[in-house]
Structure 1
Amino acid sequence: MTDLDRAHARHLLHEMLRIRRLEEKSAELYGLGKIRGFLHLYIGEEACAVGALHALAPDDNIVATYREHGHALVRGVSMNAIMAEMFGKAAGCSRGRGG
């Protein structure tokens, strides 16, 4: 493995911050009762998703469980699709059925 250049390191940090912001907003909306059911947050684990997924090839399969928001975001699922899923909307990444 090669050393990270500054641009790549900034990209990885940016992805970690995107995950953190998504999780913080999710927690806020859950606290307001706008997201129903259970919400298992990924706060504090952002580097795991970013580091692991950047070590894999883009077409490598991954299996994630109930704390998968970070994995989905790093793999290119839009924040809008992830949030729509948590709201149970048809525009969600699992058409609102996954929660």
Structure 2
Amino acid sequence: MPTPTTDGNSAHDVHGGLPIPRRAANRPIPSADLLRAWYRQLILIREFEIRCMQAYQDKKIGGFCHVYIGQEAVAVGCVAALKPQDPLVTAYRDHGHALARGMTARACMAEMFGRVDGCAKGKGGSMHMFDREHHLYGGHGIVGAQTPLGAGLAFATKYE
């Protein structure tokens, strides 16, 4: 490994004493079709969240409703980096992750409205999206509650 410097000439620059890898020159550039697909996901999530916010303000959605407006790219990028079979656990702002992972907007919205055709049979609401088919193991309303579940899923994946 080259000696870390701050002059920008080595493979790693030092920031706060930690090496920061530069972008790999051989990293593939996403195709135009893939970029369009990601953009469609961003728009789907934004539109979904706007409609959720409106329904919540109209008191059509009970409980809490934590929208993901302005964070759509985080969900799309994180999910794009995963394999389809990788387990995904998220926190209480989980609609974006659910949609990016492949849950239908219909199933997600049905859950928001507490309907039996929702992803958690209408019992989870905004903060508890669940979709076994897409390996989405839920959002969690308690801050940090997803950590033990994530650790268990990681152990199970490693154990298999």
**TM-score, normalising length: structure 2:** 0.60
1:70 has 2:96 as partner: yes
Give 1:64 shift.
0.8
* Superposed CA RMSD: 0.8
Give 1 or 2: higher helix fraction.
Answer: 1
Query: Which residue of structure 2 lines up, in the alignment, with residue 21 of structure 1?
Result: 47
Deviations 1:52-95 (A, max 9, x none): 11111000011111111011111111111111101111100000
Q: Which has the greater radius of gyration?
A: 2
Please give the residue correspondences for 1:1-99 in structure 2 after superposition, counting only pairs within 5 Å. Answer: 1-99=27-125
Structure with bigger strand share is 2
What is the aligned length?
A: 99
Provide runs of 4+ in structure 1 moved above 4 Å.
none
- Scaled by the length of structure 1, the TM-score of the pair is 0.96
Instruction: Please give the alpha-carbon distance, in whole angstroms, between the structure 2 residues aligned to 1:7 and 1:67.
Output: 28
Secondary structure at the residue paired with 1:39? coil
Same amino acid, percent of matched pairs: 44
Instruction: Name the structure 1 match of 2:15.
Output: none
Q: Aligned equivalents of 1:23 and 1:54: distance in 2?
A: 20
